[in-house]
Amino acid sequence: MTVEVIAVGTELLLGQTVNSNAAEIGRLLAESGLDHYHQVVVGDNEARLVAVIEHAVSRADAVILTGGIGPTQDDITREALAAAAGVGMVSDGAYADHLRAWWERRGREMPTANLRQAEHPEGAVLFENLKGTAPGLRLRIGDTWVFALPGVPQEMLPMLQDSVLPFLREAAGAGGVLISRMIRTWGESESRVAEFLGNLFESSQNPTMAFLASSGEIKVRLTARASDATAAAALLDPVEAEVRRRLGSLVFAVGDETVEHLVLRLCRERGWRLGTAESATGGMIAARLTAVPGASAVFVGSVIVYGEAQKTALLGVTPDLMEEYGVVGPETALAMAAGAARALDAEVVVAVTGSAGPTPQEAPPGTMVVVVHTPEEARARRFRMPGDRERVRTYTTTAALQSVRLALEGEWW
């Protein structure tokens, strides 16, 4: 069964709202073993929406629309569906009573406009909205099942899971499952990783292989179709093993485990406390670490020192050292790490300094220095990061965490 997704809302086209629904629906369709080839975003224009619906039902077994079923004048999904189906609009008196009761329970008077949410194309089946007032609906247009769901993710997701996916799985029959496994790598470019895996990519049909670049990481996605999860795993396991063999220490995790999760786990296993000393990244490394639940068992703090005087006052980096080697120098970063280890009473410290841009500071923009200090050793490494200031800072944050990971695994550069 093929399923197409249509997101409705001019705010999506203007970039004012991120279309997170599309990613969540795509993931859940894949987990259900349902084929998903097209996603479309269309603004709040009835004629254009009708055309998009008609095109979707001509090529898909099912269509899921999100958005445009609220109470205001620009919510036109219901009317567009009726036009595409060639049916009229009807009002559901029972749902109108439900809406009035919903507002009354909250001690508020219901705006008359909300009664629009009791209207639907003739022949549609309504779904209850447990998180809001806009009901979802299911409608048959030709040979295609069409579903309309709210655009608000907190309202859309329960309706998708409870009312839409079970219906589609039953309609599809024993379609099996589609399982993806993400192998996370760092240290080489996307093109270089693709070279390492070239003939494997060409020869793999099930599982298939794809490459994704994200914030300095390169992910290798393996996707297998099988009758069930166990059979899919049997297809994925040997290909993953070969990818690991070829990429070696470039691979740091599989699935949802991020590098910050891994760093915290490695420190916890050794009983080591972790801290950061950040100049150019301004606390971004600490933010990544503390976003992990339970980080406080390992992470003890961060010293953010932008100015030279603060590097001296808080970390003990001497003015003479900075004058001789510069602020963007390995020697300064090593002194920052040692000072943070003392100040924070931490066994492991990652320190960062550099020239993030756009104007040069002692070195060309993108020149960044990362130091990892452990009870066993301290080493500095210099990077030349591409892109604008925020990209440089983001890539450096990832590089810093990866450098800690390599040091803790004994893979010093």
**141 with 214, same domain?**
no
Q: Is residue 337 part of a domain?
A: yes
Domain boundaries, position 148: 3-172
Q: How many CA atoms lie within 13 A of 59 on its CB side?
A: 11
Q: Is residue 132 part of a domain?
A: yes
Q: Is 77:148 a contact under the CB 8 Å cutoff?
A: yes
**65 with 144, same domain?**
yes
**42 with 161, same domain?**
yes
The verdict on pTM exceeding 0.85 is: no
pLDDT, position 176: 76
pLDDT, position 179: 87
pLDDT in tens, the chain (413 residues): 999 999 999 999 999 999 999 999 998 998 888 899 999 999 999 999 999 999 999 999 999 999 999 999 999 999 999 999 999 999 999 989 989 998 999 899 899 888 999 999 999 999 989 888 999 999 999 999 999 999 999 999 999 999 999 999 888 875 678 888 999 999 999 999 999 999 999 999 999 999 999 888 999 999 998 988 899 999 999 999 999 999 999 999 999 899 999 999 999 999 999 999 999 999 999 999 999 999 999 999 999 999 999 999 999 999 999 999 999 999 999 999 999 999 999 999 999 999 999 999 999 999 999 999 999 999 999 999 999 999 999 999 999 999 999 999 999 99
Q: Is residue 107 part of a domain?
A: yes
Query: What is the rounded distance in angstroms from the CA atom of residue 241 to the CA atom of residue 276?
Result: 34
**273 with 381, same domain?**
yes
**224 with 322, same domain?**
no
Enter the tokens of residue 247.
């990429």
Three-state DSSP class for residue 273? coil
pLDDT, position 261: 97
Three-state DSSP class for residue 336? helix
Please tell me the total count of domains within the chain: 3
Give me the percent of the chain exceeding a pLDDT of 70.
100
**202 with 271, same domain?**
no
pLDDT, position 177: 81
Peptide bond into 330 cis (omega under 30): no
Side chain identity, residue 267: C
**309 with 390, same domain?**
yes
Domain boundary pick from 254, 281, 316: 254
**225 with 273, same domain?**
no
**129 with 165, same domain?**
yes
Q: Is residue 166 part of a domain?
A: yes
pLDDT, position 270: 97
Task: Report how far apart the first and last C-alpha atoms of the chain are (Å, whole number).
Answer: 49
Domain at 190, CATH number? 3.30.70.2860
The Cβ of residue 186 has, within 10 Å, a number of other Cβ atoms equal to 22
Q: Is residue 413 part of a domain?
A: no
Query: What is the rounded distance in angstroms from the CA atom of residue 112 to the CA atom of residue 105?
Result: 17
Q: Is residue 75 part of a domain?
A: yes
pLDDT, position 30: 85
**244 with 274, same domain?**
no
How far is C-alpha 339 from the geometric centre of its chain's CA atoms? 35
The Cβ of residue 208 has, within 10 Å, a number of other Cβ atoms equal to 14
Domain at 348, CATH number? 3.90.950.20
**222 with 263, same domain?**
no
Q: Is 147:124 a contact under the CB 8 Å cutoff?
A: no
- Taking the CA atoms of residue 57, residue 164, residue 36 and residue 183 in that order, the dihedral angle to the nearest 10 degrees is 170
Domain boundary pick from 254, 288, 315: 254
Please, where are the H alpha helices in 14-121? Answer: 20-31, 46-57, 77-85, 93-105
Peptide bond into 293 cis (omega under 30): no
Enter the tokens of residue 98.
């439900």
Q: Is residue 344 part of a domain?
A: yes
Write the burial class of residue 16 (CB in 10 Å: 0-12 exposed, 13-18 middle, 19+ buried). exposed
Q: Is residue 167 part of a domain?
A: yes
Q: Which residue has the tokens 């166990």?
A: 230
**183 with 324, same domain?**
no
Query: What is the rounded distance in angstroms from the CA atom of residue 56 to the CA atom of residue 52?
Result: 6
Domain boundary pick from 151, 172, 193: 172
Enter the tokens of residue 158.
């329960």
Query: What is the rounded distance in angstroms from the CA atom of residue 197 to the CA atom of residue 116?
Result: 55
